[in-house]
Amino acid sequence: MEYTFDEYQVVNKKRHNRFKYRGSKTAYLMLLPAFVLLSVFVILPLVLAVVRSFQDYNTGAWVGFKNYNYLFTLDKLYLKSFLNALIMTAIISALLLIFSFLFACVLRAMNNKFGKVVKVLIYVPFFISGIIASVIFNLIFNYGGGLITSICVLLDKDPISFTSTTPLAYIAIIAPTLWLGFGYNTLVMYAGLINIPEDYYNAANVDGANSFQKMIYITIPNMKNYTVLLVINMVTAYMQMMEIPMMMTGGAPLDTTLTPVLYLFNSFRDPSRPDNVTIAGAIILMLLIMAVNIVVFKTLRTKRSEDA
């Protein structure tokens, strides 16, 4: 039996589809564990959270936006905590981007054994949690007898409190956070840098460009995608900062270092604040983080399709 070309196409497609759909039972089976776990431990709690954010904690009655309202009228601390987190996120992200980019450039130039060792060394803090970092930095910032206080005393100056005065308290939060994130960000930047084709620089050399021009016209534009991704990572992570502020300052002074997640964590423990208000607050946080991510993803995607 012979097929015409068109018939052949149809049969082939069918066969291909059969191949593609073959074993969809296996597919469901292999997907099942992840699906169940995700549904039970992420989606279900999320649905419950949304429901509870519209209910009264004690009675379970529907109360509309009352829980959300609480955060905007009765306890404005939550709004303030967003502002704090925003300020700290902006400072930390900017500093990390600049430092890690510059140091990645240095590392690229140091293309030897020593450079490799340094890469490993600066990555060490990445394995340390916020709790541990705070314990370590407490030895430095502690007002009662830390390193800085000791240095002040040796210089015959009055000790400075980094954990209870503005704006120094920001430093007590920012320093450990930078310390934890610097290695990772630098190595990502480094990976981006070595991915820039050498030809670009060779061509620029032929044109007689100096290092500054090469930086502006080649390096920085080519790092755009890496930078955007790092920014998403950082914004998502630092808007949810909690362990370091909790341990270093506890939100003091004047609640200037209180972060949204710390506020929510505290209010979970504060019996006078209804849980459902806490949940409502957490949903606001989620929407904010989703919005940031979606906006950046969208711009990134259009950017990529343009590139392609």
Partner 1 sequence: MRNVNVRKLVKTIVFTLICLIVAAIILFPIIWMLPAAFKNKAEIWAIPNEWLPKVFYTKNFEKIFTSNLVNDYNFISSIGSTFLVSVIAVVLSLLVNMFAAYVFANFEFRGKNFLWYYFLITMFIPGITILLTSIRVVSVLQMTDTLLVLIIPGLVSAYNIFFFRQFYYGIPRSLEEAAIIDGCSRFKIFFKVFLPMSVTPMVIIGVSVFMGYWNSFMWPTLTIVNNSEIAQVMQVIRILNSTYSGEYGIVIAATILSIIIPLTLFIIFQKKIIAGIAVSGLK
Partner 2 sequence: MKKVLKMLLPALIAIPLLASCGSKKEQEEPGATVVTMYLRNFEEWSNNYMNSRVSEFNSNMTDGIQLRVKFFEDEAYTDAYKVAKEQGQAPDIFMCSYGNIFNDLVETGDAVQLEGLIKQEYLDDIKDNVKDMMTYRGHLWSYPQLTEPSTLFYYSKSALARANVTVPEDGKLTWDWLYDACAKVKPTLKRAQYCVGIPIGSAAGWATYGMQYNLTNGLAISEDWKQCLVTADSGYKDLCEFWQKLYINGYVPQGAVSPKGSYNDIIEALTMNKLAMTFGGSWSIAEIMHTYPEKASDIGVAVIPTKSGDTSKVTASNGGWTYAISSQSDTAHREAAAKVIEWFFAESAERTAGYFQAAYYSKAAATKSVANYISEHVTPSMKEWVDVIDGVASKAIPEAIYPWSIACAVTNMLETVALNPEAPIINAINACYSSISEIINSPDFPKKPE
Using CB under 8 A, list all residues that contact partner 2.
58, 66, 69-70, 73-77, 142-145, 149, 152-153, 156-161, 163-166, 250, 252-255, 268-272
Of partner 2, partner 1, none, which one sits near residue 245, judging by CB under 5 to 8 A according to partner kind? none
Quick one: 231 exposed, middle or buried, by C-beta within 10 A (0-12, 13-18, 19+)? middle
Cα 217 to its chain centre, rounded Å, is 28
Q: Which helix (H) or strand (E) holds 290?
A: helix 275-307
| Contact flag: residue 277 with partner 1 (CB under 8 A) | no
Helix/strand/coil for 42: helix
Q: Of the candidates 90, 147, 215, 220, which one interacts with partner 1 according to CB under 8 A?
A: 147
Span of 7-15, 68-76, 87-95, 117-125 interacting with partner 1 by CB under 8 A: 117-125
Specify the residue, 37 or 166, whose C-beta has the smaller distance to partner 1: 37
Residue 17 or residue 69: which is nearer to partner 2 going by CB?
69
Q: Does 113 bind partner 1 (CB under 8 A)?
A: no
Q: Which stretch binds partner 1 (CB under 8 A): 62-70, 104-112, 199-207, 213-221?
A: 104-112
Distance CA 170, CA 100 (A): 20
* Nearer CB in complex with partner 1: 5/20: 20
Strand partners, 269: none
Mask for 69-98, x = binds partner 1 (CB under 8 A): ------------------------------
Own/partner contacts of 165-168, CB < 8 Å, gap of 24 or more, are 165/253, 166/253, 166/254, 166/256, 167/256
Out of 68, 137, 162, 170, point to the residue binding partner 1 (CB under 8 A).
Answer: 137
- C-alpha 42/C-alpha 29 separation (Å) is 20
Start-to-end Cα distance in the chain = 44
Residues from 185 through 204 that contact partner 1 (CB under 8 A): 187-188, 191-192, 194-195
Cβ-based nearer residue to partner 1, 169 or 283: 283
Show contacts with partner 1 in window 20-39 (CB under 8 A): 20-24, 26-31, 33-35, 37-38
- Which positions from 216 through 275 interact with partner 1, judged by CB under 8 A? 225-226, 229-230, 240, 242-243, 247, 260-261, 264-265, 268, 275
Shortest Å distance, C-beta 216 to partner 2 = 43
Q: Which among 296, 257, 301 has a CA at the least distance from the CA of 83?
A: 257
**Options 10, 11, 42, 203; binder of partner 1; rule CB under 8 A:** 42
In order, the DSSP letters of 243-276 are: HHHHHHTTT-STTTT--HHHHHHHHHH-TTS-HH
CB contact burial 280-298 (16+ within 10 A = b; e otherwise): bbbbbbeebeeeeeeebee
Kindly state the smallest distance separating residue 284's Cβ from partner 1, in Å. 9
In the complex, what is the shortest distance from the CB of residue 119 to partner 1, in angstroms, rounded to a whole number? 6
d(Cα 201, Cα 180) in Å, to the nearest integer?
33
Exposure of 60 by Cβ count < 10 A (0-12 exposed, 13-18 middle, 19+ buried)? Answer: exposed
